[in-house]
Amino acid sequence: MRVGMGYDVHKLIEGRDLILGGVNIPYEKGLLGHSDADVIVHAIMDSILGAAALGDIGKHFPDTDSSYKGVSSINLLKQVAKLIEENMYIIENIDATIVAQKPKLLPYIPKMIENVADALKIPVNCVNIKATTEEGLGFTGSGEGISAHSICALNTIADYRYNEGNTRKFPACEGCHGCAGCPNKTEE
């Protein structure tokens, strides 16, 4: 098993949409960034890339590349999913935390989880996203920005056991995802 952690922070400003977990959240400010500045998805991507020892999002999606200007971070997450599959890793689980004083995020978290799971092609029970405040302390507490933390656990295809029917037994997730290198992968 391999474990990676991710952290990201973006400044809150007026005139931008607040996108978290691929959800446009009604709020008077949004996050400043080259892409849509989806801080939780950025932290998740970095935790996945870190667990696979594939660098970070700056390496794969540099802010000096104009093709990433305003891009959806969920679309970037889909590209990270392809990298993980190409390198024969399977995501066991993701646990992520958004740190924001405002707005209240609880009503939006189920959709964030669904968006991340869909982008990564993993079951929703392999993704956990939660939100917390810093009780008015620091830059998140004062409403200057939002930060996010994420941890990801990966396994390699080689770590999976096969039963006599050659069906994978997933330690954390259920079902076949047809990952690269798997003898059960079907041609599309």
57 is in an annotated binding site: yes
159 is in an annotated binding site: no
10 is in an annotated binding site: yes
150 is in an annotated binding site: no
Q: What is the phi/psi pair of residue 66, to 5°?
A: -65, -20
170 is in an annotated binding site: no
35 is in an annotated binding site: yes
How far, CA to CA in Å, does 181 sit from each of 39, 104, 157? Answer: 32, 42, 7
62 is in an annotated binding site: yes
188 is in an annotated binding site: no
Residues 6+ apart with CB under 8 A from 119: 22, 74, 75, 77, 78, 81
147 is in an annotated binding site: no
34 is in an annotated binding site: yes
SS3 letters for 23-41?
Answer: EEECCCCEECCCCCCCHHH
Which two tokens mark 49? 């890339």
Q: Which residues are annotated as a binding site for a divalent metal cation?
A: 8, 10, 42
Annotated binding site: 8-10, 34-35, 42, 56-58, 61-65, 132-135, 139
